[in-house]
Amino acid sequence: MANAGDNRPSLPTHRMTPEAARAITRRLLLMAGTILGIVFALRPQAQLYRVGVTDFAERQRNEHGWTGRRQMTLSDYIRDRTEGRLLRKDGQAWLDLYTQVATGGEDRFFRPNRPPLDELAGHLDGVFTYVALEHQGDTVYLDVTLTKPGDWPAAPASLRYPMRRFALAAFLAGLLGYLLIPWPKLEPDVVAYSRFTAALLPDLGLGTVLMGMFFALPWFIVTHQAGTSHPLVVPGGWIVLTLILWGMSLFGPAIYVVAAWYETWRLRIGQDHLTMESLRGVEQIPFADIERLTQGVRKPPRWLVRMGMLVSLLNWRAAGPTLLAAGRSDPVLCLVMRDGRHRTIGLTGVRHGERLIAVLQQAGVAVDPDLLS
């Protein structure tokens, strides 16, 4: 890909073309869909209740002999084990909950707002309590534990990530918006870059991957380590890690900007002038202002190489492609203006470059002989 630049400030007409507006909109939709998809997929439920059935008679039989608890009466044993953390409840909703958990044979997870567990709000002593119920003439006990992200055993994914079912739809909506917004048409007298090389490959193959990876990492790491539903956690300094990784995710939008530049860059060939369009605006270049057309080479931007080296610190597999890119030189066309300014046009992925050379030669502009061979 290439860049349209000069040695001195250019003077384009600073108005946004419809193509530029569409290029920006499509990438905003892609970015929004990616971010929302990650948040929906990875944002955990802040708290869940783990509910089980406690058989105190069996627990007492399994106590170690040296504790002396086996010799206690069952009522004294229950009083000892539940002291300070026992709630007594009644009602059909609690009995239905007991039946559901008891017949399941294992602990069950529930959201705190699920009746009748919502009655425990403000009454749970710390993170654990017993609930005593009267069932068929006997007293039965539920044990209720308040769990947070990262606790074990973990709840089913459908409860831990309640919005995950919307994640794919959010991402696909952004992707479809990106793909379905009309793309610039490639006309015979327009020099432009290949859509795949200039837009699809950098946007989807690099920008979205980088942004998504660095934006998602704090949701994996911080929420589980800090036990929260979001990664912006000040205690423990976790917010520093989050801000660093999210800062690195901005490499993705930076690539979007470059791709939008190449998507919108077009050189329209007129009767006696060229019209250069880009994100910066529109500029007309009369043939009479062009002194000559030459050929040269251009190396990749330093910022791109530095970014690749930074990514290589996290993933050594990126080192090879980065070193190859650092040593790469791409051929360019150079429009040398009579006032000393330059316009460079990269030839990698460019379409209809030969048409530009032929028209300028016919218009009497000096053309580098190497471009005619």
- DSSP string across 95-163: HHHHHHHHHHTS-EEE-TTSTTGGGGTTT--TTEEEEEEEETTEEEEEEEEEE-TT-SSPPPHHHHSTT
Q: Whole-angstrom Cα distance, residue 322 to residue 305? A: 6
Tokens of 229: 């539903």
Confidence grade of residue 168 (pLDDT, cut at 50, 70, 90): very high
The C-alpha atoms of residue 364 and residue 22 are separated, in whole angstroms, by 36
| Cis amide linkage into residue 116, ω under 30° from 0 | yes
As a dihedral over the C-alpha atoms of residue 24, residue 168, residue 196, residue 276, rounded to 10 degrees, the angle is: -10
CA distance 20 to 231: 35
How would DSSP label each residue in 236-303? GGHHHHHHHHHHHTTHHHHHHHHHHHHHH-EEEE-SSEEEEEETTEEEEEEGGGEEEEEEEEEPPPHH
Tally Cβ neighbours within 10 Å of residue 339: 8
pLDDT tens profile 93-149: 999 999 999 988 788 999 999 999 999 987 776 789 999 999 888 999 999 999 999
Q: Are 2 and 332 in contact (CB under 8 A)?
A: yes
pLDDT of residue 323: 72
What are the pLDDT digits (tens) for 206-257?
Answer: 999 999 999 999 999 999 999 999 999 999 899 999 999 999 999 999 999 9
Token output for 58: 């069996």
pLDDT confidence bin for 5, thresholds 50/70/90: very low
What are the backbone dihedrals phi and psi of residue 69, each rounded to the nearest 5 degrees, phi first? -80, -20
Looking only at the bridges linking them, the beta strands covering 108-110 and 48-54 are antiparallel
What CA–CA distances, in Å, run from 187 to 267, 351, 359, 362? Answer: 11, 10, 15, 20
Question: Which run of H or of E encompasses 330?
Answer: strand 330-337
R_g (Cα) of the chain, nearest Å? 33
CA separation, residue 16 to residues 13, 51, 259, 343 (Å) = 9, 59, 16, 20
Question: For residue 87, what is the DSSP state?
Answer: E
Average pLDDT, the chain: 89
- Number of neighbours of residue 185 by Cβ within 10 angstroms: 8
Residue 25 reports pLDDT greater than 80: yes
Confidence of residue 325 (pLDDT cuts 50, 70, 90): low
Nearest in space to 42 (alpha carbons), one of 251, 288, 265, 229: 229
Residue 301's pLDDT band (cuts 50, 70, 90) = confident
Q: Is the pLDDT of residue 312 over 50?
A: yes
Domains of the chain (ranges plus CATH)?
A: 18-43+158-371 (2.30.29.30), 48-147 (no CATH)
Q: Among positive and negative, which fits the CA dihedral 72, 77, 81, 85?
A: negative
Burial of 65 (0-12, 13-18, 19+ CB in 10 A): exposed
Residue 326: per-residue pLDDT: 66
